[in-house]
Amino acid sequence: MTFVFLHGAGCTPEVFAAQRAAFPDAIGPDLHALAPGASSVADVAGALAPLLASIDGPYARVGSSMGGAVALEAVIAGARPAALIAIGCAPKLRVAASTLAAAENDFDAFVEAMPAALYAEPTPARAASARRQFEEVGQARTLADFRACDAWDIGERASALRVPVLVLTGERDAMTPVRFGQMLADRMPGARMRILDGAGHLAMAESPADTNEALRAFVSSP
């Protein structure tokens, strides 16, 4: 089984570093390089389609936040992964007006503040990683990502999904609280929900061992 890891808004493939180390055959595209002019989640999903079509054999798509929305949109558009895992995702990915304003008007302050929203425990190393990713992506692309998230809504389309889905949510996710992850799982027939103890929004970076175990267990389950 090949894992395809899809990062979230303002992030880079670095956010899945622990998973790429655990699953060395995995694919972790840079969605900003893949879809440089994208203004919507559906645009990114469309740009991803050729890569997915090139994968030989079964694959599991793992998306974080916006990456989860991209993974879901790709399935709606016709892609058929063997499994889909959405981390820190919800039926809607609304972004607070204050967050959008900060990203647009004072990007340095935005970058400085975001680790506290992304992690339950923003250690110096985690905070440095988050800030490094935002700075690499840059203000324009980060703002476009957050606006795309704010506009995205899976709506009733979720009920038509017919692939195995696991929704992973950090217990202490401040950006996409557990109740929103549960709402997403409830809308998809047969979807499973798992809460990662103590983790925040970037659960795969904050609780890598638990995340990796959840991925292995899900793709191995009947």
Superfamily grouping for domain 2-220: Alpha/Beta hydrolase fold, catalytic domain (3.40.50.1820)
Q: What is the pLDDT of residue 79?
A: 87
Q: What is the pLDDT of residue 221?
A: 84
Low-confidence stretches of the chain (pLDDT < 70) are: 222
Q: What is the pLDDT of residue 222?
A: 66
pTM above 0.75, yes or no: yes
| CA atoms of 168 and 4, how far apart (whole Å) | 16
| CA atoms of 158 and 76, how far apart (whole Å) | 8
| CA atoms of 38 and 170, how far apart (whole Å) | 28
Would you say how long the chain is, in residues? 222
Q: Are 170 and 201 within 8 A, CB to CB?
A: yes
> What's the start-to-end Cα distance of the chain, in Å?
14
